[in-house]
Amino acid sequence: QVQLVESGGGLVQPGGSLRVSCAASGFTFSRYTMSWHRQAPGKERELVAAITSTMDSTNYADSVKGRFTISRDNAKNTVFLQMNSLKPEDTAVYYCNAEYASGWTSRSYWGQGTQVTVSS
């Protein structure tokens, strides 16, 4: 069965760093575009970062550009989000997403999320 399990969230001080991970299983990970989204209280879920299946392209929200880095290890079926210079406004639940589209077929899977809290 399909599973996306996030880990690595927690409490960090402003200016600090944190790396969250997403372990995938139950599907062909290497074929999927992987991304991280986040949702803060009272706000809409937003795309944070994405990386293509072939790792030839990445995309970041303007708010995190230069601070966050997305990466993936296809051999380990894992995607990472390295978060540096964290700000209180980065506080949110971070969700892992896997998406695949080919012809008329489209699939999308979501993890349960991991809480990241940036506070002094």
Cβ atoms of residues 116 and 10 within 8 Å? yes
Inter-CA distances, 120 with 13, 75, 79, 81, Å: 5, 37, 28, 22
Residue 7, pLDDT score: 97
Residue 3, pLDDT score: 97
| Per-residue pLDDT of the chain in tens (120 residues, 90 and over written 9) | 999 999 999 999 999 999 999 999 999 999 999 999 999 999 999 999 999 998 789 999 999 999 999 999 999 999 999 999 999 999 999 999 999 988 888 999 999 999 999 999
Residue 89: phi, psi to the nearest 5? -70, -5
Inter-CA distances, 100 with 17, 46, 108, Å: 30, 19, 6
Question: What is d(CA 52, CA 117) in angstroms, rounded to the nearest whole number?
Answer: 27
